[in-house]
Amino acid sequence: MLSIAAALVMLPPPLPPSSRDVLAAEDTGWREIRQNSLLYMDVNEGTVLIELFGWFAPENTRNIFELVNAGHFDGGTIDRVQENYVVQWSGPEGAPRGNAVDRVPGESVQASEALDPIPLLPFGDVYAPAVGHWASFPVARDGENIWLTHCYGMVGVGRGEDVDGADGSELYVVIGQAPRHLDRNITLVGMVRQGMEHLTSLPRGSGALGFYGGEVEKPAISSIRHGSDVPPDEQIRLEVLDSAAPSWSAWVDARANRKRDGWFTYSHNAVDLCNLPIPVRRIDSED
């Protein structure tokens, strides 16, 4: 007969958590998104919530807040929906610009020393020596620089030929396969945290680059508001899985090993930077 100690030793080790387990666990770390980092973009289909992350692009982000505060985008339009690429919008003709400036330098990379270390993904990347997450945003870095990456849902500042000539009036969101070739070429400022489906299901534009043709009625934007200016009873409280919490690595590991979720028969033991979902959930109001 086995002693109790030997029997205990023979128990199988606990199974590592599935992605569902991680999301359900009590000790998984979530971070509430601050209202003063949020933009509320109201389109016909609903509200799109964008979290801005000013550290990577402080001047561009400040300029966007100035435009939003001036009501620049209210009454604006979606101008471009390019299949498997981007949705782009702007304010109406002659919209007020408040204290926004007309030329903001490109901020597509930042010196990396200031943000070291980040939680890195251990699976490699085609575009950069290292990738991971900072404040639950996808980032990449090399020995000198760190930058936000063009994953699905990332929001950037349109520019013309001039890298330093963006005035903040044309913003875009990635709606298809991550166009990582745009990394380091154009300034990213944030990510859609809720409401992507209101943008991705819009009709594609028939013109060059997916711009809507002259005769089509462009989808309307009733307003873009700064979360801090939204009345408290209208604010939407969200929390995002926290990439700085110890539980983040369990999330990454679970998504790299999908067999734990059932249905799957093969785990790759890897997940691509832009194929790792960044979970967001609603915080229920207390009243």
Task: Pick between residue 117 and residue 277 the one whose CB is nearest to a second copy.
Answer: 277
The piece of 66-74, 218-226, 237-245, 255-263 that touches a second copy (CB under 8 A) is: 255-263
- Please list, in sequence order, all residues whose beta carbon lies within 8 angstroms of the beta carbon of residue 123, skipping any fewer than 6 positions away: 256, 270, 271, 272
In the shown chain, the binding pattern of residues 170 to 209 toward a second copy, with x for contact by CB under 8 A and - for none, equals ------xxxxxx-xxx----------xx--xxxxx-----
Residue entry with tokens 């539980």: 247
Does position 274 interact with a second copy (CB under 8 A)? The reply is: yes
Task: Pick between residue 100 and residue 109 the one whose CB is nearest to a second copy.
Answer: 109
Bridge partners, 38 (sequence order): 51
Does position 123 interact with a second copy (CB under 8 A)? The reply is: yes
Burial, 249: exposed, middle or buried (Cβ in 10 Å; 0-12, 13-18, 19+)? middle
Contact 41, 221 (CB under 8 A): yes
Provide the terminal-to-terminal Cα distance of the chain, rounded to the nearest Å: 59
Per DSSP, the residues of 41-108 read EEETTEEEEEEE-TTT-HHHHHHHHHHHHTTTTTTEEEEEEETTTEEEEE--TT---TT--S-B---S
Of 80, 133, 225, 258, the residue at the interface with a second copy (CB under 8 A) is 258
Helix or strand (DSSP H, E) at 154 = strand 154-157
Does position 271 interact with a second copy (CB under 8 A)? The reply is: yes
Q: Which of residues 135-164 bind a second copy (CB under 8 A)?
A: 151-153, 161, 163
Task: Pick between residue 19 and residue 243 the one whose CB is nearest to a second copy.
Answer: 19
Q: How far apart (Å, rounded) are the C-alpha atoms in residues 41 and 26?
A: 32
Does position 264 interact with a second copy (CB under 8 A)? The reply is: yes
Does position 268 interact with a second copy (CB under 8 A)? The reply is: yes
Q: Which of residues 93-122 bind a second copy (CB under 8 A)?
A: 108
Residues of this chain that bind a second copy (CB under 8 A): 81, 83-84, 108, 123-128, 151-153, 161, 163, 176-181, 183-185, 196-197, 200-204, 255, 258, 262-266, 268, 270-272, 274-275
